[in-house]
Structure 1
Amino acid sequence: MLNNRKSYPVLNHCIYANTAAYGLLNDELLEWRQNHDLDYLVGGSSMKIESLGLIGETRQIVGEFFKCKKDLIALVPNFSLGLNMLLEGLDSEEHILLLENDYPSVNWPVESRGFQISYAKINEHLEQNILEKVRNNSITVLALSLVQWINGIRVDLDFLKSLKEEFPQLLIIADGTQFCGAFEIDFENSGIDVLGASGYKWLLAGTGNGFFLFKDLAQRRFTIKTTGFNSANAVLTAKNTIPFNKHFEPGHLDSLNFGSLKCALEILNNIGMKEIAAHNENLSKKAGKGFDELGLLNNYVIQRNRHSTIFNIKDNNGLYNHLKEENVVCSRRGEGIRLSFHYYNTVEDIDAILEIIRKMR
């Protein structure tokens, strides 16, 4: 993984522990974007019309990367817009289970539409909390983030699969924005019915691109009303034969943004998601052990078997400002400091952060 650090100039002057806020720009992606816009500069509409094929190529690689049929993939500018379009097509009688204090763009769109809602607590017993709510409350939909944005708690994908096997009619909608690109997922063989994500965090694709993946059966639960000329691929006679996934693409999709997603996925593929996931698992264990030894983690994080690479540590004695002074890029979230590590980080980065904290004590 060390060789890949050369592609991220930011790492030359800081310890970047903020991928949960924004992923870094790869110099290969920068070059692609510059060439794209240069072609647009000199080619005008001809270039843009020719680039329409790039959207199909992006859909193809998204399907291959996450193991989903390409005609069940919707390309969207970001997760939040996609979820709002999706929920507009969901029956108002559904009883939806959310997680307490989940990402606002997951919970708020549900809460604003008048569904019956229950909540499960996020703690060391997260999966058991979800199971008990589903078993005892006539839940019909579960909507949650695969990784929690504040504390990094990561839901067990095997649990979601077993939950779906026990409750096959339960519709599971997942936000993978803090998961996809950091760890592997086989959507078709998962328990998830709908998986959405924005591309600007762990996928390192920049802003303005995202996707939603659907299972065949999931389509039957929604009546999507969003539509536009692009939904029909600019065919006037196709208004009444629009495929399910194209309802989420009513207007033109930007070739720069979605070409960036394609390029970013190619970069991750070239490195290898198995290698990236294994590296990130190692970073997770290293950081978790170090922060635990310093007494900086909440008990419910310590007691879980697996965690993401996002950690929220206690902000003692002005620690956040001190980390900034030491060129550690991180974020304030909740009552603590959120540090997040990706494949371009090293165990040495974590050791350096731990040493900074020790010296401050």
Structure 2
Amino acid sequence: MFKDVQIDPYRELFPHLKQPHYYLNHAAFGVLSTKVNQHINKHLNERCNGIIESYLIDFDVIEQTRAKIATLINAPSPDNISFVTNTSEGLNLIAAGLEWNSGDRILLNDAEFPSNVYPYKTLNRHGVEVDLIPANNGFVTDEQISKHIKKDHKLIGISAVQFLSGYKIDLHKTGEIAQDNGSFLVVDAIQAIGNSKIDVQAMQIDGLVSGGLKWMMAPMGIGFVYISDKLREKIRQQYVGWLSVENPWALSNFEQGLNPTNRRYELGGLNIPGIYALNVSVDPFLELGTNEINKHLISLTDRVDQHLTGTDLVRFTTINDQNRTGIITYDLPKGLNGDKMIETLKARKVTISHRQGKIRFSPHYYNNIDDIDAALSIFLEVYNSKV
């Protein structure tokens, strides 16, 4: 767990802590820091009453951010990173771009968030079949993937961290399974980036997508996709814009080839305020280290569990430490109005999630034990009143 001296400077960036507002819902929606807010407004002020045409400055920020994300996930190069609006866009880019034949199969599981299922289900028009591994308590293991995979599985789609259980799959082993089978491994990482170490090279990941609005703590409408050189060679790009080509400013040359890097997937004007946000929101992950953040979050969720042990709330699933993240989830007793309880908690400045008859706590790196103790004290008061 981080010492106060390590995270106190970061806590100063989150004024909601001073209210106090105990926000433990980063698996749903991240908080914007004052630094993110300032960086976005710096750009907007330039566009409003500064130089106005800020694209030369913006270009530097875009490339700087691209490089930071590449470092964060250990991509071979910033050239493997493209900006997208959300996870669904990135997954569709890959799913729709690969060449499919009738009889090809895709291996998923039934604990996935819908955005990691629908892009593949639409491929049935090509005769592609999607196989769903039955999940146990909200997750599947690499052993289950190994058991269910077949030679005609062209692609394995998996979340690095499952949204409800918080289970973090062993992507090193999953990558080995995919490579041995000749399958592409495509990862939905929105519940992992910012709280868990991701190394796309060591894990042999072909494609990885993450929106920025959760653990990356950026606004909605910005995210990124990593596509390996091998996977890029297999994608037949479905949409092309003026920025997709080798030299966009050769405006009269319509015979150009596509940009040789993943910038080809950035068709036109990007979400520049969102990229300004990512540019600074990822800094704490690089400074503190995602391995250390993960250990800190396990300690915080252990503290949640200490408070709830002995109540009639039951852990949704028990997970080994190597597969844990910053998500901890409990089944609510039947008959309890979870939505009403969540609203009562919000009025008391405690924010958590209610999903599918379960409650989910998801603190982040800047939270400390005092936050957990205070939030759980209020939570138990509300819960015991059986609102």
Question: What TM-score, normalized to structure 2?
Answer: 0.84
State yes or no: 1:248 paired with 2:265.
yes
The residue aligned with 1:302 is: 318
Shift of 1:45: 4.6
CA distance 1:298–1:205, change in 2 (3 Å): same
Q: What 5-or-longer segments of structure 2 have no aligned partner?
A: 1-6
CA distance 1:221–1:297, change in 2 (3 Å): farther
- CA distance in structure 2 between the partners assigned to 1:161 and 1:88 by the alignment: 22
Deviations, residues 69-101 of structure 1 (Å, cap 9, x unaligned): 111111112111121122111222331011103
* Aligned with 1:157 (options 140, 154, 171): 171
* Aligned with 1:132 (options 147, 171, 177): 147
* Aligned with 1:278 (options 267, 289, 295): 295
State yes or no: 1:145 paired with 2:159.
yes
* Aligned with 2:212 (options 199, 205, 226): 199
State yes or no: 1:57 paired with 2:59.
no
The residue aligned with 2:12 is: 6
The residue aligned with 1:121 is: 134
- CA distance in structure 2 between the partners assigned to 1:73 and 1:330 by the alignment: 32
State yes or no: 1:177 paired with 2:175.
no
- Is the contact made by 1:208 and 1:257 (CA closer than 8 Å) also made in structure 2? yes
Question: What TM-score, normalized to structure 1?
Answer: 0.90
* Aligned with 2:361 (options 323, 339, 358): 339
- Is the contact made by 1:48 and 1:255 (CA closer than 8 Å) also made in structure 2? no
3-state SS of 1:96 partner: strand
3-state SS of 2:282 partner: helix
Deviations, residues 10-34 of structure 1 (Å, cap 9, x unaligned): 2222210111111111111111122
Shift of 1:229: 0.2
- Is the contact made by 2:160 and 2:192 (CA closer than 8 Å) also made in structure 1? yes
Query: CA RMSD, aligned part only?
Result: 2.4
- CA distance in structure 1 between the partners assigned to 2:49 and 2:161 by the alignment: 43
Name which of structure 1's ranges 287-296 and 307-316 shifts more when overlaid on structure 2: 287-296
Q: What 5-or-longer segments of structure 1 have no aligned partner?
A: none
- Is the contact made by 2:159 and 2:188 (CA closer than 8 Å) also made in structure 1? yes
The residue aligned with 1:98 is: 108
Higher helix content, 1 or 2: 1
Deviations, residues 272-325 of structure 1 (Å, cap 9, x unaligned): 4343233123223333455455353446x2154432211222234444355334
- Is the contact made by 2:258 and 2:264 (CA closer than 8 Å) also made in structure 1? no
